[in-house]
Amino acid sequence: MNLGHINLFASYLNIISALVLAILFYLHRNQIALNTDLYSYEVTGVLNNGQDVTLTPKKNFSIDTQTIEILLVAMFCISGFFHLFYYTNGFYTKAYLGDVRRGYNRFRWLEFSFTSAIMIFILSLLSGNRDINSTILITVLAASTMGIGFFIEQSKKKEDKTIGLVIGFVMLATIFGILYNSLLETSDDYGDSYPDWGVGVLIGMGVWFLILAIISVVSVGASGNIDYDFLVYEKLYTFFSFFAKAYMGYYMTYGILAT
């Protein structure tokens, strides 16, 4: 299957997924049994010359299940749009294949920056992280990590690519370290009432992000070889990025509808 057909197929899959989720969410107006609001903390008391501080939570954003549903549908719509852009070679501007011939795809990393930010934002809410500042931090960090991916892909020297990989892995470890620490604390607070599907989504998405990162590692390792073919990795990103979105989107839909 050539690259054009793969992108057209991926566009169809993403758009169909968005429509299926939208219809299911419209027919079943369920609410996740978790507090998904975001808070900050303000100092309301200082004692003992600043040694003891009283913090009071302040709600900044009220986020309901319908907002999460909209974001899941938007995630598939964004990818569907970008794959249509790829299939039409940049809406007939030849921009996409021009990038591919040079051995990178800046538009893919732009797509990933949007979808990964949505993913991490939702995962942060699902993990029980109620702090608005850390939620914004890891969401922006997720989008920024995709910039590192573009840096790795368009760099000519393998040493530069390797440095980018190290930075990227540190950023991903930071993101999922915060998520899993929050999940552990939330699981202790909720006990047996914390949904099993929530744990499955969070652990599974860590695996999917790792798989996509491994594709970058393999690509960097093979770069410079005579038989290196960028199209192989472009196709791998297409396949596995959809599988990652499908895992999260379908699993969360199951969890929301089962609530």
Which domains, from first to last, does the chain contain? 3-258 (1.20.1070.10)
Query: For 192, which DSSP code?
Result: G
Q: What is the pLDDT of residues 111-158, one digit of tens each?
A: 999 999 999 999 999 999 999 999 999 999 999 999 999 999 999 999
What is the model's pTM? 0.94
Query: For 31, which DSSP code?
Result: -
Task: Tell me the C-alpha distance between 97 and 89, whole Å.
Answer: 6
Backbone angles phi, psi at 42, to 5 degrees: -120, 145
- Identify the segments of the chain with pLDDT beneath 70: 50
pLDDT of 43: 78
pLDDT of 190: 86
Comparing C-alpha atoms, which of 217, 215, 221 is closest to residue 233? 215
Tokens of 126: 């699902």
